[in-house]
Amino acid sequence: MFAIIGIVVVIGAVIGGFLMEKGHMAVLLQPAELLIIAGAATGTFLVANPMHIIKGVAGGLTGVLKGSPFGKARYLSTLRMMYQFLNKVRKEGLLSVEMDVEKPGESSIFKNYPEFLSDHHARDFVCDTLRTAITGGVEPFDMDQMMELDMEVHHHAATQPVQALSTVADALPGLGIVAAVLGVVITMGSLGGPPEQIGEKVAAALVGTFLGILLCYGFVGPLASNMSKTADDHNEYLHVLRVLLLSFLKGSAPMIAIELGRRAVPAHVRPSFDEMEKSCKSKVEAAEPAAAA
């Protein structure tokens, strides 16, 4: 939502200032210049990147427009889910959750948290870690190393689309100059004609430079920056899961493990201890009578 608001503000400020200086909007409407810049940028993007990065950029831009899903509500939901899951392990043993981690979509716990199931990276991160723990014979230190490696690989993959989009943003001012040079070439071919016609062609050439710089610093660059922050948000989310899973595998009680996870949540979205405790306890208390019945 804020990304859309920001784009509207950029367009409004640029056009508003131009009109305040008695500029004519028709001068800025240069489809040929826009075609040169946007077409060349798209072509260089396709040349430089394989398909999985192209898909990553498309998915990342969609995520930017939707906003980050990792707010306080998401963390509370995840902590509640993990508290239920770890409680089940404590009472019934690791083998009791074997089917939950093998088929998370059919799990009596996980299926109540669709946002977790739809996040296949987080889902696989948790389930693969617990599947390894069920197998046995792996020390907590080695489990931590595996989780860290998993996070590094995922974060590297998440930052590749960001780097690709940033490269396009860096190229846009240069492509704007290309469009401007082509406009100057056309202008030179019109020398000797009416001054009004020459003035229009010079203006069109300068619009190419303007569009290249505006697209770089006003749109594509900020979108790449936002995508980078979203990738960081997801990495912080996985870090919370890593902390609480490792704590539990070392022998901590479920509530202690969840509290350690809460402490790892970024400060601006971290729920308080009371909020976490109320959320976890209320869910468990509601589930226990149903199980008894």
Using one digit for the tens of pLDDT, what is the confidence trace for 259-292?
Answer: 999 999 999 999 999 999 998 887 554 444 444 3
Q: Report pLDDT for 283.
A: 56
pLDDT tens profile 135-194: 888 899 999 999 999 999 999 999 999 999 999 999 999 999 999 998 888 888 777 777
Could you give the number of structural domains in the chain? 1
Which CA distances in Å does 151 have to 139, 157, 195, 264? 19, 10, 63, 15
pLDDT value of position 118: 93
Q: Using the structure block, give the residue that is written with the tokens 């505006």.
A: 214
Query: What mean pLDDT is predicted for residues 98-113?
Result: 92
Q: Is there a contact between 104 and 267 (Cβ–Cβ < 8 Å)?
A: no
Domain presence at residue 136: no
Q: What's the rounded mean pLDDT across residues 199-227?
A: 91
Does residue 62 belong to any structural domain of this protein? no
96-129 as b/e, with b when 16 or more CB fall inside 10 Å? ebeebbeebeebebbeebeebeebebbbebbbeb
CA–CA gap between residue 201 and residue 195 (Å, rounded): 10
Q: 234-252, pLDDT tens digit by residue?
A: 999 999 999 999 999 999 9
Query: Is residue 119 in a domain?
Result: no
Distances (CA, A) of 65 to 38, 93, 238: 20, 43, 22
Q: Is residue 276 part of a domain?
A: yes
* Residue 233, in any domain of the structure: yes
In a domain, 102, yes or no: no
Domain that residue 222 falls in:
31-57+71-93+161-292
Q: Which residue has the tokens 């030179």?
A: 188
Q: For 9-18, how does the pLDDT look when each residue is reduced to its tens digit (9 = 90+)?
A: 999 999 999 9
Q: Which of 22-26, 163-167, 191-195, 208-212 has the lowest mean pLDDT?
A: 191-195
Instruction: Say yes or no to pLDDT of 36 above 90.
Output: yes
Residue 254: inside a domain: yes
Condensed to tens digits (0 to 9), the pLDDT of residues 42-65 reads 999 999 999 999 999 999 999 898
- For 193, residues 6+ apart whose C-beta sits below 8 A from its C-beta are none
> 151 in a domain, yes or no?
no
Is the pTM value of this prediction over 0.85? yes
